[in-house]
Every structure is written in structure tokens, then in C-alpha cells.
Amino acid sequence: MKKVMLFWAFIVTAVLTVFCGILWFNNLESARKSYNILFSNGTEGVLDTKISGFLPAFDWATLDLSTISTFIPFLGLLCVLFGLAQINRKGKAALTDDFPFFHSYDRINIALGLIGTIWGIIIIGFYRPEDITVANLMMCLHTALFSTLVAVVWVSILMPLFVTPFMRRLAGEQKNSEAVEDANLFELVDRLSVSASAVSKEFAASNEQLHTFNGRLRNAAEEINECSHNLSTMLHRLTNTGEAWQKEQARQMEILSQTAKMVESISTVQSQLTQQLEKLQRDNATLQAQNAALRTTNNELSEAASASGVENVRLKTALEQIKGALH
């Protein structure tokens, strides 16, 4: 009878272990896709809906981005499966103080639950303030709360009340250790209460910091709006100044164009005057040559006139001599 019970316990535990393993791997894939969206483009992604894993039929278990809520049952069932194998091989000799789990197993589960809670709060900080919505906060709270809920239910209820007693009776333990288990249970409950209180205070402090941050963000937004208004005014003034400068530049270009035309006209007139001057110089040279020829002719005529005067005197003298001879 014990062998049959052990066999069926092993089969059921193996099936549940495989099922929880599939849920965990599906949750890992969903978390990977979610982080790709959240941290894409320098934390500019917005994650406000649940992302499917590789098996959409099991997406009902992908509520926790830390995957702790699906990892804790998978790890626990894996330990139970290993414990059943130990019972089948060693029998009662397999019993230890922490059987079927290992030392500090309950503390590790509680720590994982708290880590999931803190990670859910940390994820909020990766959102840009203008993108934070109720849907974003609910996604983060799923991670923060479901990880702790699964850890509390597993460590405080399922493990001490069902799993551990069943495994020890299956291994052949006859001693009833309910008092010790109750003491351990109360200790765990107290520990979880302290941890939950610390998490609540941390969450309240985070909310207060978030409100303070939002107030500073609003003030910064007002200052940015004022700066934007001042910048718009400055740009308007710069635009007007640019238009005036363009008009002045157009006027100066027109003046330069007119000046260029005047310079061109003056150059044309100067060229004409230069040509006229050259012509006058040529005419002057011609006139000077003619004047020199006239002077030469005049000199020759003067010399000829002088020679004619001498001849006339001689003729007059001869005529007077002739007249004297006749008388």
C-alpha cells in the first residue's frame, strides 16, 4: 500500500512539477518581451498591457514580471519530487530536519517574495513621469504583490500544513511534531508580518517621494513652458530682425547695383574721353608738323624777300646811274 501511494505521489508530483515548470518558462518569455518593451530606446518604452509568452493559453500565470510567483511552486515541487525519490531509495533514512526541502528553504522563499515586491516598486522608476498611468501602476503592483502572496501561501500554509507532514508520514515518521511546526509557523507569520510592514512603509515612502517628484515635475513643466514662451518671443524678435536685415541687405544690394551701373557709365565716358584725347593729340601733332613746315616756308620766303630787296637796291642804283649817264 505504501509503495502504491509513493508511486502515485511521484506521478502526481512529476506532472505538477512539469506543469509549474512550463508556467515558469512561459512567464520568463513574457517577462523577457516585457523588458524589451520597457527598456527599449533608453527606457522610452511604455508597458501598460500584459505580454503573452510562448504559450498564450498559460498567460493567466504571467502576472509577475519577476517570475518569482511561478518559480516558487516549481522549485518547491522539484524539491518534493527529489524527496520522493529519496524516500523510495533510502526510506526513513532520508528524513532530515528540513525534509523534503533544504536548509533555509523557507527563508529563501520569503526573501524571493520580498525581492519581487521591491522589484515591482523599482520598475515604476523606469517609467517617464508623463507615461505613468493607473494601468502602469497595476502592472508593477502585480509583480510587487503576487510574488509576496505566493511566498506567504507556500511557506505559511501549503508547506507546513500539507507538504511536509505528508512527506514525513510517507517516509514512515510516527512522531507528531505539531507543536514544533506550530511554533515554526508562528515564527514565520511574525517574520512575514514584520517584512510586510517594512514593505508597506517603503511603499508609502515611495508614494510620498512620487508625489514630491510630481510636484517638482509640475514646477519644472511650468518653468519649461515659461522658457518656451520666452524662446518663442525671442524667435519672433529674431525673425523680425532677420526680415529687417534682409530688407536692408536688399536695399544695399540695389545701391551696389546702381553704383556698379554708374561706375560702368563713368568707365564708358572715360574710355570715350581717352579716345577723344588721343585724337586731339594726333591732331595737335599734325598741326605742329604743319606749323613747322609753315615756319620753314616763311623763313625761306623771308630770305627770298631779303634777296629781292638787295636786287631791287642794285637795280635802283643801276637805273640811277643810267639816268645820270643820259643826262
Domain range holding 112?
2-175
Q: Is 242 part of a structural domain of the chain? A: no
291 found inside a domain? no
Q: How many domains does the chain have?
A: 1
pLDDT reported for residue 164: 87
Is residue 280 domain-resident?
A: no
3-class SS string, the chain? CHHHHHHHHHHHHHHHHHHHHHHHHHHHHHHHHHHHHHCCCCCCCCCCCCCCCCCHHHHHHCCCCCCHHHHHHHHHHHHHHHHHHHHHHHHHHHCCCCCCCCCCHHHHHHHHHHHHHHHHHHHHCCCCHHHCCHHHHHHHHHHHHHHHHHHHHHHHHHHHHHHHHHHHHHHCCCCCCHHHHHHHHHHHHHHHHHHHHHHHHHHHHHHHHHHHHHHHHHHHHHHHHHHHHHHHHHHHHHHHHHHHHHHHHHHHHHHHHHHHHHHHHHHHHHHHHHHHHHHHHHHHHHHHHHHHHHHHHHHHHHHHHHHHHHHHHHHHHHHHHHHHHHC
pLDDT in tens, 64-91: 888 999 999 999 999 999 988 888 888 7
With respect to residue 99, please indicate whether it lies within any of the assigned structural domains.
Answer: yes
Asked if the structure places residue 77 within a domain, the reply is yes
Structural domain includes residue 211: no
Does pTM top 0.95 for this prediction? no
114 domain residue, yes or no: yes
In a domain, residue 73? The reply is yes
- Block mean pLDDT (10 aa), the chain, length 327: 83 94 93 82 55 87 88 93 87 78 89 90 77 74 86 89 86 56 54 61 63 73 80 83 85 88 88 90 88 85 81 82 79
- pLDDT tens digit sequence for 316-327: 888 888 878 876
